[in-house]
């Protein structure tokens, strides 16, 4: 019963926590935000979930959603070519949508390429990291181009950038785990002695 109450308290704590959305589309869940409405401040202090105070530049913040569900937009275009607020909202929405996609394919490509190290004898195993590295580069180059059913270019740009980041990260983890399997397999297949 006590465990259920602890889990409920943790979930309730995260459910009502303020969220800072950055201009790059990342979200930061925080405990509290200090003086964000003071426009004279260059940076804004927030308390992280680990109880540490951290600064973030005001220019890097898109919006802050408080625990009472009030949403405050801090983004302002600085230069002539910058997106306006409505375009940036769509860009951030694209980023949020990009989080929802699965990255199993990128992980499997990285894992399979890392596992190719199994084909190398132990005296040539130093070449094995090139396989997953090549896979990560290819995933980064060719991922994020999936066409989604949305017409706005800002939404599509945010979505594509997030998908690319997610796929690269997943391919790196897949490559590292596949490399561990491949190197271990090489030593098991060819023996532990270097020829």
Q: What is the pLDDT of residues 116-153, one digit of tens each?
A: 888 888 888 888 888 888 898 888 888 766 666 678 88
59 in the same domain as 101:
no
* Residue 86 domain-assigned (yes or no): no
Domain span at residue 62 reads 2-76
* Residue 92 domain-assigned (yes or no): no
102 in the same domain as 43:
no
Q: Specify the pLDDT at position 9.
A: 56
Q: Specify the pLDDT at position 15.
A: 57
184 in the same domain as 111:
yes
Domains of the chain: total: 2
Q: What is the pLDDT of residues 168-187, one digit of tens each?
A: 999 999 999 999 998 888 88
Record the pTM: 0.71
Q: Specify the pLDDT at position 146.
A: 62
CB proximity list for 43: less than 8 A, separation 6 or greater: 55, 56, 57, 58
Of 90, 81, 106, the residue nearest 167 (C-alpha)? 106
Look at residues 11, 41, 76 and tell me which one is the last residue of a structural domain.
Answer: 76
d(CA 153, CA 149): 11
């Amino acid at each position: 019963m006590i465990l259920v109450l602890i889990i409920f308290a943790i979930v309730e704590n995260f459910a009502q926590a303020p969220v800072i959305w950055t201009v790059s589309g990342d979200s930061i869940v925080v405990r509290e935000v200090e003086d964000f409405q003071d426009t004279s401040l260059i940076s804004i202090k927030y308390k992280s979930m680990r109880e540490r105070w951290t600064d973030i530049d005001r220019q890097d913040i898109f919006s802050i959603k408080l625990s009472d569900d009030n949403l405050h937009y801090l983004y302002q275009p600085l230069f002539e070519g910058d997106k306006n607020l409505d375009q940036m909202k769509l860009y951030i929405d694209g980023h949020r949508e990009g989080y929802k996609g699965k990255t199993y394919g990128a992980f499997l490509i990285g894992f399979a390429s890392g596992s190719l190290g199994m084909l190398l004898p132990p005296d040539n195993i130093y070449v094995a990291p090139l396989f997953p590295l090549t896979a990560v580069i290819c995933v980064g180059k060719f991922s994020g181009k999936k066409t989604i059913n949305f017409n706005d270019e800002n939404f599509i740009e945010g979505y594509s950038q997030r998908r690319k980041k997610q796929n690269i990260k997943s391919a790196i983890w897949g490559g590292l785990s596949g490399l561990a399997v491949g190197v271990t397999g090489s030593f098991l297949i060819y023996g532990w002695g270097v020829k």
